[in-house]
Structure 1
């Protein structure tokens, strides 16, 4: 029998992103971390499983290298005792880690994904979760991204990138939901 509650997968809520912003990179969804805090509180209150994902950069200039200040988790999203931290070195939380094995061993069938950034590690992890057969939800107001220049030199806003990523994932790989919807669902499952 599968686990009755979904697992929360918190992707890369690390200080490197604060450093990017301090250096002038512009992001969308300034309340995303507050929504992640809300999700963590709700999952903890429900006794639902939580998995924290950390990115460890391997390139010499990565702000996510383990010895850099950017590798550290943001204080608001810090794990509590008993909540596993899984370190990845590529975009997907399923590649080179034991995340899938841990989920299968606990008979977890449903995942709720949040974190950063929408169009990189969150998207890659969400696509793989869907491909692996998990009932996957991506929390639209608990993820964010940054402005980006395309291959032709066109500037794409973080808002547009976020919206397009959600559109690409919706239906085929995941259901796109809000923090409020996830919390309401958890409360309903407890009753």
Structure 2
């Protein structure tokens, strides 16, 4: 693996790191709990964020829309997933579930993109602008879910001209089949690197000794 991660060019995209996904009691935590435990996801997320911060790699928070009563009532074609999210008030605004996990709070210098309503963090948000205005060409994508928001954000990132890295053990899905489809079948068609946390940390360390 020869990819380097120059902090001037690289951003770490933290996708939907909400309590509803990552914490006991979260509305979607049961969806990912088993796979997240199998691959040590939470600790790997912590390691990657800590390593990126130490190396001077910018942290970008890529948040899903925080649900509010009345969402999608005026939409002509909301998707079944969107309607389910609205019904369950997943990531509800001004609630614990719709807050970032304690280990992934916004820190000074971080960028928080505007919220995405569907899967990808790019359409109808300022994410592309916020990356390009700071000269970021490479994006490392971590977070949830592997086969929805992570994949959609990474795929469109490639379409927009970014170098895309995925991290196998820094994501999860509702099933092993969904995880395999996202990382082993779909990802090789668009991602430039598909690494483990250990491989990513080593690559960052080689680029910018920590």
Superposed pair shares fold, TM > 0.5: yes
Gaps of 5+ in 2: 1-5, 72-85
1:180 maps to which residue? 198
Instruction: Note the 1:109-188 alignment, pairs <5 A.
Output: 109-146=137-174, 158-174=175-191, 175-188=193-206
Gaps of 5+ in 1: 147-157
Instruction: Note the 1:1-191 alignment, pairs <5 A.
Output: 4-17=8-21, 18=23, 19-20=26-27, 27-30=34-37, 31-56=40-65, 57=67, 58=71, 59-86=86-113, 87-146=115-174, 158-174=175-191, 175-191=193-209
Residue-by-residue CA offset, 1:131-175 (whole Å, 9 max, x unaligned)? 1111100111000111xxxxxxxxxxx122111110233332112
Aligned residues: 179
Taking structure 1 as the reference length, what is the TM-score of the superposition?
0.85
Residue-by-residue CA offset, 1:15-34 (whole Å, 9 max, x unaligned)? 11232366677541322121
Q: CA RMSD in A?
A: 2.1
Any idea what SS the aligned residue of 2:97 has? helix
Taking structure 2 as the reference length, what is the TM-score of the superposition?
0.78
In 2: Cα distance, 1:64 partner to 1:185 partner:
33
Change (3 A) 1:20 1:185: same
In 2: Cα distance, 1:22 partner to 1:166 partner:
20
Change (3 A) 1:21 1:132: closer
Change (3 A) 1:82 1:22: closer
